[in-house]
């Protein structure tokens, strides 16, 4: 599906950003270098008439991203949690993208439910409301079960959402090809692998059966977590395009005025959001990877309620230990140990100097300690981290993309509740607890037991596996494939400048 239509999609992206005024607004808010701003505006301006007009009642950035489609809306949701990067005003504007998008008619939702479940809505529900929340992929209706009177939430996918996402992802693949072709240095960031990872996440979010399964597993893992609630799934009323769960009653986590009026401690809520995320990621290796304000509520008793389980992250035990040691090293300000962990895990090639890398990490970590978050520019910190990774040739770790992205989102949520929060002080007890349990004599003994079980299970097959490996090793290596220019590059020159201008303004943080 790679071809001219992808160039056209990128051209439309840049034109839409310019026509709505979003390009200048986003680049200014993110403090992009002046040459980048000038070039982007000059390249996109002649094509602005090709862009989507969008809803003129919306602010520029919100107007452009909502007009461009669900993939761009997803990125806007991330930016809405980062007032320190895009500014308070734009963050407030982008927050509309979380759950206040234009809904589709309730009649369409009822028809989708009936087609999916094979049961008329009136036969199951005594009440079925208009949309109470509309996001980029689905919308939610409040309903009441006829047989029990219980209030439930019914989530229904948007009509045609699968095709819309496919078009955007296809264009993103083309953009990744263009970037790799024009900038060989960018290949260490593995842009195609990043898009492939994003594609897998999106495909999982478009099947509500998988979301129901994720919600069930997440509930089993967190049943004993204090101050945390999850809605339960109604499996007999859930399918691929429809999901029904118990209704979560509470105040939106992003409504600070309502939280203050209800007497909730916002500082405590911010700390709990961070600690819950770290506990789920480190302890369970399975975490909610879309924890923005639109997916979180606060119950009357102060519990945090999470919902919308379309994007869940999973990391294996080894990666969790590496991540925990890196965090713990930063917390202890032991930059040499942090550097050693990067080398041991293969994140940095062994030909680099570990002492030099440790000094670079110290320059990243030291400004954090001894000051509250309101005095730290996360934008400058991220820029410097990028420079460090480029200098030491670190490749993008696709297994950590979702974890890193969610950490940024969760920190933004916590900061919106309590601007002075210090993520390192809040994270310290969670990380220390995990270190004590997973790195030590007890964990070593558990690893030996697991290894013995695996060897016992595969013991009868070991001779055959060794013989197969020896045969393959003796075979001559295959001839390398001929290098060639990707099909479609002949179409690249006409549209790449405008497309990159629009993509740059949207993906500046990446």
| Contact in structure between 344 and 238 (CB atoms under 8 Å) | no
CA distance 320 to 136: 31
In terms of Cα–Cα distance, which of 416, 38, 63 is closest to 76? 63
∠ CA 78-11-167, rounded to 5°: 60
Q: Output b/e per residue, 451-481; b: 16+ Cβ within 10 A.
A: eeeeeeeeeeeeeeeeeeeeeeeeeeeeeee
Q: At what angle do helices 401-417 and 266-279 cross, to 10 degrees?
A: 170
52: helix, strand or coil: coil
**Ramachandran quadrant class, 305 (left: phi over 0; alpha: psi -120 to 50; beta: rest):** beta
Has 290 been annotated as catalytic? yes
Mind giving me the DSSP string for 88-157? HHHHHHHTHHHHBSPPPPHHHHHHHHHHHHSS-HHHHEEEEEEEEEE-SSEEEEEEEETTT--EEEEEEE
- Asked if 123 and 146 count as a contact pair (C-beta separation under 8 A), the reply is yes
Q: Which residues are 127's β-sheet partners?
A: 144
Q: 162, 107 in Cβ contact below 8 A?
A: no
Q: Is 355 exposed, middle or buried (0-12, 13-18, 19+ CB in 10 A)?
A: exposed
- The catalytically annotated residue of 88, 290, 303, 355 is 290
Nearest 5°: CA angle at 489, between 486 and 492?
A: 150
Contact 420, 372 (CB under 8 A): yes
**Residue 502 near residue 496, CB atoms below 8 Å:** no
- CA dist 359 → 154, 300, 383 (Å): 52, 48, 17
**Angstrom distance (rounded) from CA 330 to CA 501:** 36
Torsion sign over Cα 448, 449, 454, 455: positive
Active site residues: 290
């Amino acid at each position: 599906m790679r071809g001219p239509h992808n160039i056209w999609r990128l051209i439309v992206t840049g034109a839409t950003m310019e026509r709505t005024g979003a390009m200048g607004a986003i680049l200014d808010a993110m403090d992009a270098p002046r040459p980048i701003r000038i070039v982007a505006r000059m390249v996109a301006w002649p094509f602005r008439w090709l862009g989507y007009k969008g809803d003129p009642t919306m602010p520029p950035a919100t107007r452009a991203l909502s007009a461009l489609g669900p993939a761009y809306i997803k990125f806007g949701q991330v930016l809405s949690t980062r007032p320190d990067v895009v500014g308070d005003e734009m963050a407030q504007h982008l927050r509309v993208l979380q759950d206040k998008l234009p809904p589709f008619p309730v009649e369409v939702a009822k028809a989708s439910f009936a087609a999916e479940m094979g049961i008329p809505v009136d036969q199951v529900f005594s009440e079925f409301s208009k949309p109470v929340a509309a996001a980029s992929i689905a919308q939610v209706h409040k309903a009441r079960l006829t047989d029990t009177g219980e209030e439930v939430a019914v989530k229904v996918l948007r009509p045609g959402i699968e095709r819309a996402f496919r078009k955007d992802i296809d264009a993103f693949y083309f953009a990744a090809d263009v970037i790799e072709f024009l900038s060989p240095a960018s290949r260490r960031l593995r842009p195609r692998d990043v898009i492939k990872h994003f594609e897998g996440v999106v495909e999982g979010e478009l099947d509500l059966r998988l979301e129901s399964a994720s919600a069930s597993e997440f509930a089993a893992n967190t049943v004993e977590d204090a101050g945390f609630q999850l809605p339960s799934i109604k499996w007999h009323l859930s399918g691929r395009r429809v999901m029904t769960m118990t209704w979560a009653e509470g105040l939106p986590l992003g409504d600070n005025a309502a939280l203050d009026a209800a007497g909730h401690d916002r500082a405590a809520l911010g700390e709990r959001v961070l600690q819950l995320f770290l506990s789920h990621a480190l302890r369970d290796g399975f975490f909610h990877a879309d924890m923005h304000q639109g997916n979180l509520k606060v119950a009357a008793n102060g519990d945090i309620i999470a919902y919308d389980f379309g994007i869940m992250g999973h990391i294996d035990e080894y990666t969790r230990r590496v991540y925990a040691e890196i965090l713990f090293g930063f917390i202890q300000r032991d930059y040499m140990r942090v550097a050693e962990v990067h080398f041991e895990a293969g994140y940095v090639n062994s030909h680099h100097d570990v002492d030099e890398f440790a000094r670079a990490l110290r320059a990243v970590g030291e400004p954090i300690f001894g000051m509250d978050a309101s005095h730290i520019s996360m934008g400058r910190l991220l820029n410097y981290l990028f420079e460090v990774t480029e200098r030491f040739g670190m490749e993008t770790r696709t297994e950590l993309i979702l974890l890193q992205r969610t950490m940024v989102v969760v920190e933004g949520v916590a900061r919106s509740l309590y601007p002075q929060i210090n993520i390192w002080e809040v994270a310290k007890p969670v990380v220390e607890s995990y270190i004590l349990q997973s790195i030590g004599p007890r964990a070593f003994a558990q690893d030996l037991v697991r290894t013995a079980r695996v060897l016992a299970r595969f013991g009868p097959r070991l001779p055959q596996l060794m013989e197969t490996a020896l045969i393959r090793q003796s075979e001559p290596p295959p001839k390398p494939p001929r290098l060639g220019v990707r099909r479609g590059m002949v179409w690249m020159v006409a549209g790449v400048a405008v497309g990159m201008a629009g993509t740059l303004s949207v993906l500046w943080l990446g």
